[in-house]
Homo-oligomer: A and B are copies of this chain.
Amino acid sequence: MNGKAADRTEAISADPASAHAAVDAAADNPLLLDLQVCFPLYAATNHITRLYGPVLARIGLTYPQYLVMLVLWEQAPQTVGALGARLHLDSGTLTPLLKRLEKAGLVSRTRDPEDERRVLVSLTDQGRALRGQALDVPATMAGNMNPEAIDALRETVTRLVDLLTGK
């Protein structure tokens, strides 16, 4: 936390000369920007994945598999392409992951009779039933965070995604 970063609390004011602390710091060392923005994001995501690992292992899922199941519990069946669009993942990632979920008996993969290029991913009874076991995962993970912190976190993440994707 250097001096310029500390100035940020006042940069919310309308003074354009001091409104861009990161840009000011970048004038000295441009690489500081990535060290302050991209690296923390990367570290935070790894941290989350690591925290969920043991909890999800109890219901036999990895973190990416859990996210796929979350989306399928919202709506199924879905094509691989639709899943990829929703999750921002390509087929090279999804195909083997879905095959593992199929092998575990949680989903089924069938060619769409309407269009044989598509593969429909459906939930099996076992896959649907797993939702019941997953229901307390968020609360377990939230654990010792208070409601205000969780809500602030959700808002912050939403803002982050808005900034990154569309603006």
Shortest Cβ distance from A36 into B: residue = B154
Instruction: Give the copy number.
Output: 2
Give Cα distance in the complex from A89 to B39, angstroms.
12
Partner-binding segment picked from A16-24, A97-105, A109-117, A119-127? A16-24
Size class of A's contact patch?
Answer: 35 or more
A87 / chain B contacts, CB cutoff of 8 Å: 39, 43
Q: Does A31 contact B (CB under 8 A)?
A: yes
A residues contacting B by CB (< 8 A) are 5, 8, 11, 19-23, 26, 30-31, 33-49, 52, 63-64, 66-67, 70-71, 73-74, 87-89, 131, 134-139, 141-142, 145, 147-161, 163-165, 167
